[in-house]
Amino acid sequence: MNRVPRGRRPRTPAVIPGAVPAFGLTLVWVGLLVLLPLAALAARPWEDGPAWILHALANRRTLAALRLSFGTALVAAAVCTLLGLLLAWVLERVRPPGWRVLDALVDLPFALPTAVAGITLTTLYAPNGWLGAPLAHLGIHVAYTPVGIMIALVFVGLPFVVRTVLPVLRDLPHELEEAASTLGAKRGQIARRVLLPALLPALATGFGLAFARGVGEYGSVIFIAGNRPLVSEIAPLLIVIRLQEFDYAGAAAIGLVMLLTAALCLLAVTVLRRRLPAMRGVAR
């Protein structure tokens, strides 16, 4: 019997015919459609020198737009994490009447054009809208403010958390909770010591995806934001404005900041998933 050298995995025959051409096609796709555009975006701002990048990013209007995009995306991702966990729990463990319809509606932001979502949210939360009018009567203004931006980002980010947490929650056996209850654990202890450690990797992944989506969101935000400079102007809109002004280097500099932030966010989520104990078993 042939022994496999230590540190090497036994080579298994390819399951899919034509695996080598498929691998080559994958490399071409990644190179032409992912790496090449990203490299062009990263290289464009440096053509005019580092001083121009600092000048483009140190602009007061640019800093306000970046701060608004990242701040609202961070808050919206946190809200999505809490609401997504609650919604996933209801869909999997409570299952009220009509839960299948509710489960299908969770994916609606994936299929709905973002511009349609933006117009709908603006109609609802405008000062004369169904929800905006009573809120405005209470002194709460949603449309054309950062609050409206955060609501739009929660709308598009919530499905990422639900679809990440729901499969993990579905695979958790009920016997774990029953055994903990039999041993005398209270509900809070079961949630904190049994359920939460298993759900933390999925929650971290959902948070990262919702944050990355929120930073670059444009269509659903553009209408409800109001686009007032230094108040409710988001970074993606500022990129469009810079392009209309033929300031390609300035637009690329803002895009580079957003690209690096999204990459760091995904890297942090990957590192966090590997460090969390419950995820190690899944990763292996």
Contact present, 262 and 210 (Cβ < 8 Å): no
227-233 long-range contacts (CB < 8 A, ≥24 apart) are: 228/144, 229/61, 229/64, 230/60, 230/61, 230/64, 231/64, 231/145, 231/146, 232/68, 232/144, 232/145, 232/146, 232/148, 232/149, 233/61, 233/64, 233/65, 233/68
Q: How much is the pLDDT for 157?
A: 93
Is the pLDDT at 152 greater than 90, yes or no?
Answer: yes
- pLDDT value at position 260? 84
Residue 283 has pLDDT above 80, yes or no: no
Residue 199 phi/psi, 5° resolution? -90, -15
Retrieve residue 235's tokens: 């970074």
Is the model's pLDDT at 257 over the cut of 80? yes
Read off the pLDDT band of 9 (50, 70, 90): low
Confidence of residue 148 (pLDDT cuts 50, 70, 90): very high
CA distance linking residue 278 with residue 262, whole number of Å? 25
Q: What is the pLDDT of residues 57-81, one digit of tens each?
A: 888 899 999 999 999 999 999 999 9
pLDDT at position 282: 42
Do residues 84 and 158 lie in contact, with contact meaning Cβ atoms separated by under 8 Å? yes
Mean pLDDT over all residues of the chain?
A: 83
Q: How confident is the model at residue 155 (pLDDT cuts 50, 70, 90)?
A: very high
- Residue 281, pLDDT > 50, answer no
Residue 138: how many other CB atoms lie within 10 Å? 7
pLDDT in tens, 157-188: 999 999 999 999 888 887 888 888 888 788 88
pLDDT of residue 73: 92
Average pLDDT for 238-248: 87
Q: What is the Cα–Cα distance from 204 to 212, expressed in whole angstroms?
A: 12
- Statement: the pTM of the whole predicted model exceeds 0.85: no
Q: For residue range 188-220, list pLDDT tens digits in order.
A: 888 888 888 888 888 988 998 899 888 888 888
Residue type, 150: M
pLDDT, residue 1, reads 46
Q: Which two tokens stand for residue 201?
A: 């990797």
Of the pLDDT bands very low, low, confident and very high (cuts 50, 70, 90), residue 43 is: confident
* Residue 220 and residue 117 in contact, taking contact as beta carbons nearer than 8 Å: yes
Give me the percent of the chain exceeding a pLDDT of 70: 91
Residue 123 vs residue 14, higher pLDDT: 123
Distance CA 193, CA 180 (A): 9
Phi and psi angles of residue 234, each rounded to the nearest 5 degrees, phi first: -90, 160
Question: Per-residue pLDDT for 20 more than 80?
Answer: no
> What is the mean predicted confidence (pLDDT) over 20-29?
81
% of the chain surpassing 90 pLDDT: 21
Note the pLDDT of residue 7: 52
